[in-house]
Structure 1
Amino acid sequence: MAVKQQEQHPVIHQSVPVELNGRLLEPNRRIPLNLEWVEEIRVNTSAVERRASTIDTRRSVKKEWQAAWLLRAIACMDLTTLSGDDSAERVKRLCAKARYPLQRHIVEKLGIEELNLTTGAVCVYHAFVETAVKALEGTDIPVAAVSTGFPAGLSPLAERVQEIRRSVEAGAHEIDIVITRAHVFNGEWQALYDEVAAFKDACGAAHMKAILGTGDLLTLRNVARASVVAMMAGADFIKTSTGKEATNATIPVSLVMVRAIRDYAERTGMSVGFKPAGGIKTAKQALQWMYVMKDELGRPWLEPSLFRFGASSMLADIERQLEHYITGRYSAAYRHPIA
C-alpha cells in the first residue's frame, strides 16, 4: 500500500534550492538594521483572524495524500523533550524514536522502506546534548539545543552567549535562542538586533532559531516587527514559542510570521525558516500548519531545511492516524510511546 509521495519529492534533511515567485533565494545572512522598515510595519488583526478561520475550509487532503502529508510532517518535526525531570535514558529513548519514528509494520504496509524516514531533529536542554549526539551517531539527524536562559531569557547576556558556545562545542548542530521580550515591548529594536546578532555570532556554523515568545508579545504588530528584526540580525529560523508560555503557537501568529518571512525574502532575496512550537499535539493540527506554509510560502517551505514543528506527543497521534489508514482501526494510544 504505497502512499503517493507529495509531488514525488523525497524526505530529506539537507538544504535545497529555494525559489519564491520565480526568484532563486540565498540562505539568510545579517543585514544592517533598517528602522524605517520596522516602523512602517502594520498588521490588520481582524483580516488575519478571518484568514486564519478559513485554513481548514480552503484546503483538505484525504486518503493516501493525507498519509503522504503526515510523513512529511514527521520529517519536519523537532522531536523534543524539555521537562524538569528529563534524564539521559529518556533522551536516549527519544533519539531511538527519532531514528525510527514509525513502527516497522506501518512502514512496511505503507511501502516506504526506501525513504529511511526520520524526524527533522532532536531538541534537548544543553545538559543532554552530548547524550543525544552519541545516541544519533551514524545518522543525519541534527541535535538542537535550547539556549540563552531558556525559557525566560533573562540571565546576563554574557552567560547566554557562553551557553550557546558550550552547546556548539558539545556537538549541537542547531541552537534555539530566546529573545528578551522587553526589547519588543519598549520598541528597543537596536538592542534586540544587537542581542540576536551576538547570539548568531556565538552559534558559528550551527543554525540558529530565534524564539520570539509570541504569547508574551501582546500584539500581532509586535510579532511582525520582532520577526523582521530577528531576520535582519541573521536568524536562520524564526520560532513562535518556548512551549512554556500561557499561549503558544496559534494560526494567526503563524500567518503574521510567515508573511514577514515572505516580505523579507521579496525584499532581500534571502530565505528564513519557520518553526511553530507549543501546544501542537495532533495530526490535524500538523496539517493546518502545513497548509499555511504551502499557501503562504509555497512548496519549498515544506522541507526540513525551512520548516520544523516543535513537538513530541504529535508524533504519537500521527502514527495512530497512519495505522488507521492502513488497517481501518484506531489503536490505543499506549501502543505508540514517544520516550
Structure 2
Amino acid sequence: MALDMDWVRAAQANTSAIERRAATIGTRRSLKKEHQAAWLLKAITMIDLTTLAGDDTPGRVRRLCAKARQPVREDILAALGVEGITTGAVCVYHEMVPTAVAALKGTGIPVAAVSTGFPAGLSPYKLRLAEIGESVRAGASEIDIVISRRHVLTGDWQALFDEVREMRAECGDAHMKAILATGELGSLRNVARASLVAMMAGADFIKTSTGKESVNATLPVSLVMMRAIRDYHERTGYRVGYKPAGGISKAKDSLIYLSLLKDELGDAWLSPHLFRFGASSLLGDIERQLEHHVTGHYSASYRHAMG
C-alpha cells in the first residue's frame, strides 16, 4: 500500500502502561502437565532453527537440518503419541543456503537466509539488494532483511518505506521478514512507527532483532509490535507475521510469548505461517522439558544435542 504518514504519525506508545502490561503476562497463565507439553510441541513447530556464526561449516548446517527434521527424540514423541513434528524453518547465512536446501530436500521445511548486509545493514545498497536475489536463486524461500536504523532514528519514514518496498520486490515469491533491530531504535514509539512502515511497504513478517544487538526480543517490544500488527489487520484485512528473535532460550519463555500472542492477536496467529521464534538453544530446553514430562526425571543437556 502507499505510505500513510497520518497513520504513522498517529502511532504512539505509553511506555509505563506497556511495561506494566508486559510484567503481568507471565503471571496470568499457568500451563501444566499435558497442556504444557502440547504448547511446547506447538512452539517447536514455530522455531526458525538458526546458526549464524562466523565458523559455520557445511557439516554443522547439515547437522542442524537433521535436527530440524527430527527435533525431538523418537522415544519421547512415541511416549507423547505424536509424530511428524518439525521446526518451522532453518535460518542460515547466504553461503550456507545451498547446503541447507539440499539437506532439507523433500521435507517441506523452508530455508531462511539472512540478507542485506546482516546484521548491521551498512553494506552498499545495490549489494544489499543483489544479496536478496542471490539467496532466492540459491533456493531460500524466506529472506530476513535488516532495515537501515538511521531512517528510523532521523524520522525519514519515506526512505524506510522505499527501502523495504524495493527489498520486497527483490524477494519475489519468497516471504520477507523485516528485522527492525528494536534495541537500537531509541523508543517504543519508534518501534511502533517502524513496524507500520515496514508492513505498509510489504513485509510478510516483522521481526524484533538480528540477535546480535545488546538488547534483543523483549515483552514490551513484542506487545508494541503485536498491536501494530493487529491495527494493520483491522484496517487493511491483511495478516502480517511476527518473529521475536534473540535471547529466547528457555521453554518457559516460549510459553509466555505464545500466551501474549494468543491474547493480543488470537488463534489465527498460532501457526508457523504467522509466528516464528528466532532461536537455537530454545529447542534443547524444550526437549529437556518434554523428557521430564514423559519420565518424571530431569534431563541433562547432553541428552539433547543439536547435532
Give distance in 1, aligned partners of 2:266 and 2:30: 16
User: Structure 1-normalised TM-score?
Assistant: 0.90
| Alignment match of 1:297 (pick from 260, 265, 269) | 265
* Percent of pairs with identical residues: 68
Q: Determine whether 1:149 maps to 2:78.
A: no
- Matched residue SS, 2:242: strand
Distance 1:84 1:271 in 2: 35
Q: By how many angstroms is 1:61 displaced?
A: 1.1
Q: Distance in 2 between matches of 1:137 and 1:261?
A: 33
Q: Deviations over 1:238-262 (max 9, x none)?
A: 0000000000000000000000000
Q: Which runs of 5+ in 2 are unaligned?
A: none
1:45 aligns with 2:15: yes
1:162 counterpart letter in structure 2: A
Match for 2:60: what amino acid? R
Superposed CA deviations along residues 30-84 of structure 1, whole A, max 9, x for unmatched, are x000011101111100000000000011112111000000000000000000011
Q: Deviations over 1:107-136 (max 9, x none)?
A: 1100102xx110000000000000000000
Q: Does 1:61 align with 2:24?
A: no
Summarize the alignment of residues 30-41 of structure 1 with structure 2, pairs less than 5 Å apart: 31-41=1-11
The total of aligned residue pairs comes to: 307
Deviation at 1:192, TM superposition (A): 0.1
Please point out which of 272, 296, 303 is paired with 1:335. Answer: 303
Q: Where do 1:77-116 residues align within 5 Å?
A: 77-113=47-83, 116=84
Q: Which digits, 9 at most, give the CA deviation of each residue in 1:162-211, with x for residues without a partner?
A: 00000000000000000000000000000000000010000000000000
Report runs of 4+ in structure 1 exceeding 3 Å deviation.
none
Q: Which has the higher contact order (CA 8 A, sep 6+)?
A: 1
Q: What is the aligned partner in structure 1 of residue 190 from structure 2?
A: 222
Supply the distance in 2 between the matched residues of 1:320 and 1:144 (Cα, whole angstroms): 26
* Counterpart-to-counterpart distance in 2, 1:148 and 1:237: 16
SS state at 2:90 partner: strand
The two structures have a TM-score, normalised by structure 2, of: 0.99
**Partner of residue 134 from structure 1, selected from 94, 102, 115:** 102
Is residue 243 from structure 1 mapped to residue 217 from structure 2 by the alignment? no
Shift of residue 335, structure 1, vs aligned partner? 1.0
Deviation at 1:331, TM superposition (A): 1.3
- TM-aligned CA deviation for residue 289 of structure 1: 0.5
Give the distance between the partners of 2:184 and 2:140, measured in 1 at CA.
27
**Unpaired runs of 5+ in structure 1?**
1-30
**Partners of 2:105 and 2:237 in 1: how far apart?**
35
Code of the residue aligned with 2:80 in structure 1: it is L
Residue 60 of structure 1 aligns to a residue whose secondary structure is coil
- Note the C-alpha offset of 1:157: 1.1
Q: 2:152 aligns with which of 184, 187, 191?
A: 184
User: Cα deviations across residues 133-168 of structure 1 (Å, max 9, x unaligned)?
Assistant: 000001110000000000000111110000000000
